[in-house]
Structures are given as structure tokens and as C-alpha cells.
Homo-oligomer: A and B are copies of this chain.
């Protein structure tokens, strides 16, 4: 069932080529909400990534662009590893049915989700994390917060691109904060 690695395909784009395509085709993404659960499956904490973008600091969830000829499960596993580190031990969901589909438009206000660079269609999953996370690459810090803390209006204001709405939907779907 394992797909070929994306590197086996000619998926390289010249610097401005992907930018141009992004203005003409919707791009497939995955969003993951990393959580810690207790023994009965109840969400105890949510991990937010602290990143620096254009000189300001933002909190966000995991975002993955799906590559050509890459299975969704492989894209999700690859990127959780890349963002949370190799010891995170994520539990991938048994079904690919997402808890929501987030439509990011370059024009704000059409949906709660916004991405100035592109029209992205993102499948969103809750992923339980068993191991230890360590920030990788452009992630400055990974913070574990309780659902109550995540829904705090001040923290919600630090979340970008509609990720605050996404985490509210995840908590609502899980029955944890309704």
C-alpha cells in the first residue's frame, strides 16, 4: 500500500513556478491538531507551534502540502516528523475522513480560513502524540496547552490564518469543549 516517495518523481518547481500555479489552481493541504489524550481518549492538551513570520510571532497548527504521488498518510507522517521531531510518536488516524475540510482563500472573509499566498483546500485531522516533541527548523517552540487555555481569547488572537477556528472545531468534534 505504500506510495512511492515523492522524490522519485519530477516534482521540482522553479522558484516562481509554484507561485504562479498557486494563483491558478487550488492546492491540497493537510492540517493536524496534535493532542495528548489520557487513557480514556479524552483530550488533555493541544500542541501549538510558535513560529516567526515576517517579523512577527504566530501560533499555528501543523500544515502539510501534499506532494505529487504522495499518499495522504505519508504526507501526514512526513510532516509530523519534520515539525514535531523524530521522537513525537504520532498516532495516525485509522480513517482519512477528516473532522473538517478547511477552505483557505487568498481573499479574506469568504470562509474563516485565509492564506494570502494561495487557494488551499485542507483536510484536518486530530493526531494523538505519545512521545516527546522538539521544535524543528523554522518552529521556535512547541507549547502544550489545555483546551481551556487554547480557547482563551488572547491566545486565539495569536493564531493565524484561521487556525484558531480550526482548533475550536477539533475540540467541538471531540466533545471536549462544546
Contact = CB atoms under 8 A, between A and B. Distances in A.
Interface of A: 1, 3-4, 9-11, 13, 21, 23-28, 35, 37, 39-43, 66-74, 76-77, 91-101, 103, 105-107, 110-112, 119, 121, 123, 126, 128, 165-166, 168-169, 172-175, 178
- Classify the secondary structure of A's interface with B: loop
Nearest to A74: B40
A39 B92 contact: yes
Number of copies: 4
Q: Which 6 A-B pairs have the closest CB atoms?
A: A41-B92, A172-B172, A165-B178, A40-B73, A96-B101, A26-B28
B175 A69 contact: no
20 contacts: A1-B111, A10-B24, A11-B24, A21-B21, A26-B66, A26-B70, A37-B94, A40-B76, A41-B73, A68-B119, A94-B126, A95-B173, A95-B174, A97-B101, A101-B123, A112-B178, A168-B178, A169-B172, A169-B178, A173-B173
